[in-house]
Every structure is written in C-alpha cells, then in structure tokens.
Chains A and B, each alone.
Chain A
Amino acid sequence: MQPFTRLTAAAAPIDLPNVDTDRIIPARFLRKPQDTPGYDRFLFHDVRFDAGGAERPEFVLNQPPFRAAKILVAAENFGCGSSREAAVWVLAAHGIRAVIAPSLGDIFSQNCGKNGLLAVILPADAAAAVRRQLHATPGATLTVDLEAQTVTAPDGVIHRFEVDPFRKQMLLSGQDEIGLTLGYAAQIAAFEADHRASPPWLTAR
C-alpha cells in the first residue's frame, strides 16, 4: 500500500451532502477490473459526463482549476451507501489521495484507509469554511499532514483532526495489514480452539 505522510495539493469542493458511492461509481462499472484502461473515467461518471460522453462543464472536477485536485473537501456523509471499494479505487485512479468531510460513510472511510487514501473528519463549519475558500480561490492548495494531524487551509488556518491511531500507523508505514494480522496466528488458533469447544454449533455442519 502506498503510504500517506504529508500532501500539499490542489483541492476541489463538493458541496452536496450525502454523496453516495453509487454516484462515485455507478453499478454498471463494478464488473470492470481495476486495471481497465481509462478506469478513471468511471469516477462520478453520470454527473461528470453527458449522455454522449462529453464533459459537463458545470461539474467541479471538469473545471480547469480543479482538474488536477488531489484532495476532495466534501459535505456531510460523503461516501454513504454501498460498500463497493471501487468507489475508493476510482478516486485513487483519478489521483485523489485525501478526502475531507464533516462525516463519512463508515465502510467508505475504512476502504480509504486500506488503499492509502487519508479520510479526514473536520467539524462541519471548518469544512464549510475550507470549501468557501476553494470556491473563492479556485485551484488553491491545502496541506494535509498525517503525522501532525493537521489540515492547513488556503487562508493559513490550521485545523487539527483526530485519526484512529491504528489507521494512522498503517497509513504512515504503508504496511500490509494481512501480514500484520498473520503475526497473530498463534492467538487466532488458540481462540479458535476455545471458541469451537464452547459453542459447537458454530462449526457443526
């Protein structure tokens, strides 16, 4: 997994609340392997492109200052809905490395961490203030520092954020989580032996 440490990059505002993962990647693209050429085009496909496949100029990621954004600053409950990890794969394919919002879908947020994307929760008013600055100065950059747990907004204000210590460690190191867990093989085996002995119906077939 690609580690995440510190990133200074252009950010794009997404003002709509409750952006669901069906919107991030429509269901009909889920059968496309992640290495499909042009995978990035599936991102926000139905709001980003018209029926003829041409870009909709009003969509934020189609506007020149935001095309190269590596950070999204969203509204409440971004990434709600379906558990499809393709929502994160397609963001990553577009070059997005961090998503900032007042709240995020739980599964989406987990999925971000597994793919080297940093999910940041900021208070609603702070996130709204950052989005306003991005509208006022399109192409403005943010700095997201995972070690320090800070987001530096275009106006210079530094917002501190909380992050799960486990997630932080995994992202900073880029460690393979399954590899880590396999280091607990003895505990898992001991647990299984005990678990099987007490509720035998769990494994009875």
Chain B
Amino acid sequence: MGDTMFEKIWARHAVAEGPGGQTLLYIDRHLLHEGSTPAFVRLARTGRRVRRPDLCFATADHYVLTSPGAPAPDAEIRTMVELLTRHTGEQGIVFFAPGDARRGIVHVIGPEQGLTLPGMVLVCGDSHTATHGALGALAFGIGSSEVEHVLATQTLWQRKPRTLRITVDGALGPGVAAKDVILAIIATIGAGGGVGHAIEYAGSAIRAMSVAERMTVCNMSIEAGARAGMVAPDATTLAWLQGRPFAPAGEAWARAAAYWTTLASDAGARFDRETRLDAAAIAPTVTWGTSPQDALPITARVPDPAATADAGRRQGLERALAYMGLAAGMALTDVRVDRVFIGSCTNSRLEDLRAAAAVAKGRRAVVPAWIVPGSGLVKQAAEAEGLDRVFREAGFEWREAGCSMCVGMNGETARAGERVASTSNRNFEGRQGQGARTHLMSPAMAAAAAVTGRLTDVRTL
C-alpha cells in the first residue's frame, strides 16, 4: 500500500479536521480575476481583511478587449477591470494589469510565472483551475463564496474527493494532439463521469507530453465533472519550471526539486476508480453537440437520434442537433464553418500557436479566423519567431491576450447561428454568444477548418 499524489498533497495541507468529516485545507496560492469582485465587495461589507495578500495574484482576462484600441462596447465591461484594479490596490495584491506583458488568461499566466508549483494547493474562482494540476499541484475551481472564504482565512473546508486514475498508454498517431486525448477521455467517461473525483492522468502517452500538452488535458477535467486533474511532476516538469520568475532558485530550487520528485503516486497506491485508454486508438476529434462529451473522430458521422433506445437521451440528441443545425448521418467533414477561434486557457500557449501556424503557413483562411494568445508573453514569444507574420499572411487575425470568444464576456461573441471551429473547452448552447454553435477541436484542426471552411481531418491536408 502507498499513497496517491493527491493524498500526499492533501495530507500536507490539512490544518484541522472539522465538524462532519470535512478538512480545513490550507491554500498556497489564490489566483483572482475580474469575476472575483463580488467576493471583495462582500469581504469589505463585513469589515474583514485579506489574510494573506502575498499569496494572492490577480490578472485581467475575461473582460479585457483583445482588439487593441477599440472602445469598450459597454461601460459595465470597463468597470469590471476598474473594480479589480481598485480592490487589488486596496488589499496590496499583485495585479498583472492591462499594459503589463505578464497579463493574460489566469490559467496561462500562473504556470508561466512560476506561481504554480508542484505540491501546492492552488485555487481560483474559475472552473478551469485544474489546468495548474499539470505541474503536479492540487488545483481546483471554487465559487464566489469560497473565494471570499479564502481571502479571509487562506483556507477552505473541503470533503476529500474520491480518486480516479486515467491511464493513457501508447503513442499518439500523427496529427493527434493533447486536445484529442482529453476529448476522447470525456467522450468515454461522460460529462458527469468525474463528479466527486480528483483525476490523476498517467501512462506513457501522458509522460511523453510537454507541460503545455498536459495543461490542455488537465484544463478540461471539469468538462468530465472533476474539479481537479493532475499529472505527477517529473523531469519534464522541472526543466519547464526552472528559471520562472516566481519559482525558487539556487539552494531553494534544489530542495524544492528533491521534494517534488517524492510527490508521484507510490507504486502500490490504490485509486477509487481506474480507467484506461489506448493512445493509438485516438483520432483527431471534434464535438458535434452541445456537451463536451458529444465528441467523435473527425472521420465519423453526426449521430442519429432514432438509433437511441432511451427516450430521454433521444430527446437530448434531437435538441442538440436542432440547436447545432446538423442533420443526422451527415459526415462531420461536410460541416461548413463560419469562423474560427484559436485561443482560451485550453489552447493558447506558444506550442498551440505553433501547431496552428504549421497548418496555416502557405495557405489562406477562407472564413474569419482569430488567434488570441493566452498571455502578453506568449504573444511576444510568438512574434519573436514570426508566427504573427505566418498568420497574417494566411489571412488570420492576430489579437491581444485574453479570454475573448471562449466566453465572450468582453462582448467578443459570435453571432446567432454562426458556426465556430474553436479550440476552447465548452460547446454549451450560447457559450460563444447567444445562438452561436461551437465545435471544439485542437489548434491544428481549427487552423485546418479555417483554410478549408469546413471541419477537416488535418491528416488529409
């Protein structure tokens, strides 16, 4: 018997056992964004202070415009950034503000700055916080009341989730990306398959992934219902982290690295559940419906509700197809798209932009296609290697960092009925704009859709 990585980190952060079997968990890092404002307001109303402003870091991402110079469409949107500026200023919290190249999507900049480190407990008032688990941290999304609780106490009451290990062994085929792996996982276990669980992703396919790819996988844990998803830190993790601004250096680095290498789950550790996938069986994948579990290989056809025996499921399928404007049985590669969005905390890192640029190079976008880097630093790095030129020459739009059309809180939405090939993480009804239709896929697949105007198997380009 041994312990899982999750259990090791959990035990290290248990401050007290409380009433009813809950644990008071210590929080090492608290990341904040514009959505944190109501929590600051309630905190101020009760006259409480932020206990550890030095462990809080804020960025503006959801409400920042990614078209530089355009006026905010609405005073409320501008106010969201102003309020965060004021609250972080009053509380003495480091804020990566508009104009700072370190600003970007909260789940991109945390790891990028070395704020996210293995063995930490990290929270953020955002459901995609599991992204940070790619570095071997226990990271999970919380609600606004929990944000307020962490601000006031630097702790959270939590009931220990069950553990689920998802092992992906084997080698990914050509043209198959980390995004395809996580979409295949969600299709396998279902949108509610991970509810109540902390996921550990393991196996040779995960080990072979870069840190950015692991972040793509962990990012969408919540799309399978799990608040946390993690990958054990290894040599890849350490090499990626060393030298980051907030990572330890010198003697502290050596001590930290020695500790981090003890975090991996022990050989005999038992998980409450186990699932396995064969990497070689995963194809480039796209979603066709309005739940991330509605994912199929690009070579497949739109499912036929009539083939479903269960009445409830059949109704759900019919509703999804009606919303998506798709006919049962049509080839996915026949689905025409109206625009392309490459960005979001799932797929806006330098490697993602490289993968999209490799497809765009020498071709021409036939529909509006946006590239929205995950951070100002990602944007600079991409420009340093000329990716912006590749995209511009191919007719793509090169934009500023932010969440943008992943959720459209800043007003950057798709129009009703528009069909978007998107590298984001949610294809819910109305997610990218009222009536907008989303197909999720990898950056290379989204770039392929941009140059052909339809869902395309990137392997056939």
Report which A residues bind B (CB closer than 8 A).
15-18, 20, 22-23, 26-28, 30-34, 46-47, 75-77, 80-86, 88, 103-107, 110-111, 114-115, 128, 164-169, 177-178, 181-182, 184, 187-188, 191-192, 195, 199-205
Complex: A30 Cα to B195 Cα, angstroms: 25
Report which B residues bind A (CB closer than 8 A).
15-16, 18-22, 24, 26, 28, 35, 38, 46, 48, 54-55, 63, 76-77, 79-80, 117, 119-120, 125-127, 141-146, 148-149, 152-155, 157, 159, 161, 191-192, 195-196, 222-223, 225-227, 246-248, 252-253, 255-256, 259, 291, 293, 312-313, 315-316, 319, 407-409, 413, 426, 428-431, 434-435
Residues on A with C-beta less than 8 A from B142 are 83, 107, 110
Residues on A with C-beta less than 8 A from B255 are 200-201
16 contacts between A and B (CB under 8 A): A16-B319, A20-B428, A27-B409, A46-B434, A47-B429, A80-B191, A103-B192, A106-B196, A114-B143, A164-B20, A184-B24, A188-B24, A192-B26, A192-B154, A195-B26, A201-B247
Cross-chain contact A110 with B143 (CB below 8 angstroms)? yes
Complex: A31 Cα to B409 Cα, angstroms: 8
**Contacts A75-B312, A106-B227; A191 near B141 (Cβ below 8 A):** no
**Contacts A82-B127, A85-B143; A18 near B192 (Cβ below 8 A):** yes
Which residue on A lies nearest to B15, using beta carbons? Answer: A191
Name the 6 nearest CB pairs between A and B, nearest first.
A165-B20, A166-B20, A201-B248, A77-B192, A114-B145, A85-B144
Cross-chain contact A204 with B428 (CB below 8 angstroms)? no
Cross-chain contact B153 with A81 (CB below 8 angstroms)? no
Q: How far is the CB of A14 from chain B (nearest CB, A)?
A: 12
Q: How far is the CB of B419 from chain A (nearest CB, A)?
A: 18
Which residue on B lies nearest to A76, using beta carbons? Answer: B192
- Set A18, A105, A181, A200: member contacting B291, Cβ < 8 A: A18
Q: How far is the CB of B412 from chain A (nearest CB, A)?
A: 11
Residues on B with C-beta less than 8 A from A46 are 429-430, 434-435
Beyond A168-B20, A205-B54, 10 additional contacts (C-beta under 8 Å) are A17-B316, A22-B428, A23-B429, A28-B413, A105-B225, A107-B143, A165-B21, A166-B157, A181-B155, A205-B246
**Contacts A28-B409, A82-B127, A205-B54; A182 near B26 (Cβ below 8 A):** no
Complex: A27 Cα to B222 Cα, angstroms: 18
Cross-chain contact A31 with B77 (CB below 8 angstroms)? yes
- Set B225, B293, B313, B319: member contacting A106, Cβ < 8 A: B225
Complex: A77 Cα to B226 Cα, angstroms: 11
- Set B54, B79, B146: member contacting A110, Cβ < 8 A: B146
Complex: A199 Cα to B141 Cα, angstroms: 24
Q: How far is the CB of A73 from chain B (nearest CB, A)?
A: 14
- Set A15, A22, A182: member contacting B429, Cβ < 8 A: A22
**Contacts A168-B20, A184-B24, A191-B15; A103 near B155 (Cβ below 8 A):** no
**Contacts A46-B430, A85-B144, A202-B117; A177 near B149 (Cβ below 8 A):** yes
Cross-chain contact A28 with B408 (CB below 8 angstroms)? yes
Residues on A with C-beta less than 8 A from B146 are 110, 114
- Set A75, A187, A200, A202: member contacting B28, Cβ < 8 A: A202
Cross-chain contact B409 with A77 (CB below 8 angstroms)? no
Which residue on A lies nearest to B75, using beta carbons? Answer: A31
Complex: A82 Cα to B430 Cα, angstroms: 13
Cross-chain contact A166 with B192 (CB below 8 angstroms)? no
Residues on B with C-beta less than 8 A from A31 are 63, 76-77, 79-80, 409
Cross-chain contact A178 with B428 (CB below 8 angstroms)? no
